[in-house]
Each structure stands twice: as C-alpha cells, then as structure tokens.
Amino acid sequence: MREHAPIVPVLSAPEEEEESYLDYYYDDPGEAPGTLNIDPDAPLPEILLIDYTPERSTCRPLTHLEECRPYLLSPSVAWIDIRGLGSQTVMEQVGHVFGLHPLALEDVVNVPQRPKVEEYEEHLILICRLVQLNKDPEADESLTHSQVSFVLGEQYLLSLQETPDFDVFEPIRERIRTQKGTIRRQGADYLVYALLDMIIDGYFPILEEFGERIETLEEEVMTSPTRRTLEKIQTLKRDLLSLRRAIWPHRDAINILIRDGNPLIRREVRTYLRDCYDHCIQVLDIVETYRELTSSLMDVYLSAISNRMNEVMKFLTVVSSIFIPLTFVAGVYGMNFNPDRSPLNMPELNAYWGYPLCLAIMVCVGGLQIFWFWRKGWFENFSAPKRDPSI
C-alpha cells in the first residue's frame, strides 16, 4: 500500500475579467443551458485518486484527469476526489472523462445548488451541502456553507468539493488505507453512503454548539438582557434557519436513493441509507426544537424589557406621588401674602418656628406616604424571581 502523497494543484485558472457576485451563482437571462460560470476567486482543483480492493489500496495525486481512465475500467473501486472548482479546463475535462450531461456538469460547477439527486443512464449525481462553524469571531456569518457533489458509477465515485479548506473526508480515507471496517469489501455505492453519512453527522457538533448558545442566552435574558442580547437572538435564529434550509433537502434526496431502486445502489446499501435518513430526520427535529426555543427566548426578552420598564415607571410614580403633596405645601407658602393687611393672610409667616414647622409637616407627610406605599406593596420588585419560602 502506498503512502498518502502530498496533493498538488493542477493547471492554472484562466484569466477572466472582473464580474459581479451574481455572475458566478446565477445564469444570465437567455444564457445557453450548460454554461459553466467559474468564480475566479475559487481555489484551483486538487485531484486525488484512491483505488482499492479488499486486498490492496492505492492513493496518489493526479496532475491530469485523463490519468484516471484506466482505473475507471478496472474491477477495483476508484474514488476520484477533486477539491476546488477554480479551473474551467479541469471542469470541462470532468464532463468529457465521465460523460456528464451539460446540465449535470452545470449543477456540479455552478454553486450553490439545492441538495438533490439526478439519475442518468450510466451514473447518478448527488449534490449535498456541507456546513461548518466559522472559527473567525469577526465574521459576519456563524456558518460556512460549501457544496459537495458526487457522481456515482458502477465501479467508481467522483466527488467534487467546492473548497479544500473544509475537507471532512480524511477519516474515510484513513479507513480505506488502514482497512478499518468493511468499506474496502464493499462497492462504490457503499463509499458514497459513508461520505454522505459523514456530511450528515457533521451537523450534530453544530447543533451541540447551538444548544450551548441557547443555554447561555436563556441565562442572559433572565438576568441582564441588553440590546446585544437581542442581536444574539436574531443571529441565532438566522443561523438555525440557514441550517434548516441546508439539511431539509437532504431528507428528500436520501429518500430518493432508498425508494427509487436505482441499480447503482444495492439493496444492502439501502439499509445503511435508511440509517442515514434517520440521522437526517433527527437533525431536523433538533433544529425545529431549537428554533422554537429561540422564538420563546425572544418572547422572554420582550417580557423582561417590559418588566424593567414597569419597574422604572413604578419608581417614577412613587417619587411623583411623594412629592405632589410636598409641592402643594411649598407652593402655598410660596405665594405672596401680607399678614399686616388681614389676619387671614397667612399669619404663620411671622411665627418664630414657622419655617421648621413647615419642614416638619412636609417630612411627616412624605414619611406617611412612604409607609402607606410600603404596606400596599408598591416597593416590591416584580421583575425579580420569587423565592420559594419552603427552600
């Protein structure tokens, strides 16, 4: 068995004029079917060939796609893994070597596409979405999406990854090299199942991270909700929606592989695909549960903000209620009176203890109001959680 040789990029991307973002992801109106829109910023392709039988395995990089033709005709299983879609020449060679329909090649190259299954006479095409957490804290999005396409033939499997930066198939290559499990005793259909199962299982660590975020947000919403908390909730809702839109079509695609009875998929492999289908349903259930929890977090946040506003208004009401009678007393004594003109014109203005007596009356009135508000329970903090007296 050969050692895993380093992967080398092949060819060079043709120089193209700078175009807009939409030119790489959508066809122009009236454009011919099967037109390949290559993103000039896409990484150059890296081609790796893995050919194996129950007795031996070969792993080596290819500099030209034509080198894989002898392996496609051999009785062994040939896995041609292409990482990077940045060369139109290589992509055209893919269509020529593997006999892909122009529309099928367009779906493989023009990313992103909705996950789906397309059946042709000699091969089957499966398009998947690979989702990973973005490790960059300054990135605008928490999730990074990339497309992975599979072309399944009778004795070969072609995989095309949008970028080599998020390669998750190394454990499968290691199982082939070390002959772990039954993968080398199975055909190419079992290999595509193993790779598909690797993609679906990759959603569970993301869901675990989202679960921890929800727990943190629940504590933050209950203790100290801020505007930043609202932004976190909205970001989490957007990420969960993006995750749901990525995993939902996989359910239909896997169901087609199980139900349609394509001759390239053996009966025993369909049993494994049913397990993969169950994992997909499980991911969808968790995503829906997290979406409901996130929506409830928004309701709790709004309730917490409303309670905080009620506390502020209650405090202001109490203060205003205390100062209303005090303001009345001060306003009365602030009027212009002439006690020399009439004994009814505020005779207390000339009293020796008039000023201290007025202040004492105001203090007594304010104190009585505070005591009465306290007995009525106006100073109770309704936003704070109630303490169970039995604990």
Position 199 scores a pLDDT of 93
pLDDT below 70 — which residues of the chain? Answer: 1-30, 136-141, 336-338, 341-345, 347-349, 377-391
- The total of structural domains in the chain comes to 2
Question: What's the pLDDT score for residue 17?
Answer: 36
Distance CA 216, CA 143 (A): 19
Last residue of a domain, one of 133, 160, 181: 181
What domain range includes position 116?
1-181
Q: Is residue 282 domain-resident? A: no
Confirm whether 391 is domain-assigned: no
What distance in Å separates the CA atoms of residue 183 and residue 175, rounded to the nearest whole number?
7
Structural domain contains residue 195: no
Tell the burial category of 333 from Cβ atoms under 10 Å away from its Cβ (0-12, 13-18, 19+): middle
Q: What is the pTM of this model?
A: 0.74
Q: Which of 161, 181, 201 is the last residue of a domain?
A: 181
| Rounded Cα distance, 358 and 355, in Å | 5
The residue among 119, 152, 181 that closes a domain is: 181
Tens digit of each residue's pLDDT (9 = 90 or more) over 229-250: 888 888 899 999 999 999 999 9
The pLDDT of residue 14: 39
Determine, yes or no, domain membership for 213: no
pLDDT digit string (tens) for 270-299? 999 999 999 999 999 999 999 999 888 888
| Residue 264 falls inside a structural domain | no
Within-domain flag for 187: no
Q: The domain that contains 148 carries what CATH number?
A: 3.30.460.20
What is the Cα–Cα distance from 250 to 271, expressed in whole angstroms? Answer: 17
In a domain, residue 260? The reply is no
Write the CATH number for 327: 1.20.58
Same domain, yes or no: 319 and 174: no
- What pLDDT, on a 0 to 100 scale, did the predictor assign at position 28? 64
| Assigned domain for 286 exists | no
**Do 23 and 169 belong to one domain?**
yes
> What distance in Å separates the CA atoms of residue 196 and residue 158, rounded to the nearest whole number?
13
Give residue 15's pLDDT.
Answer: 38
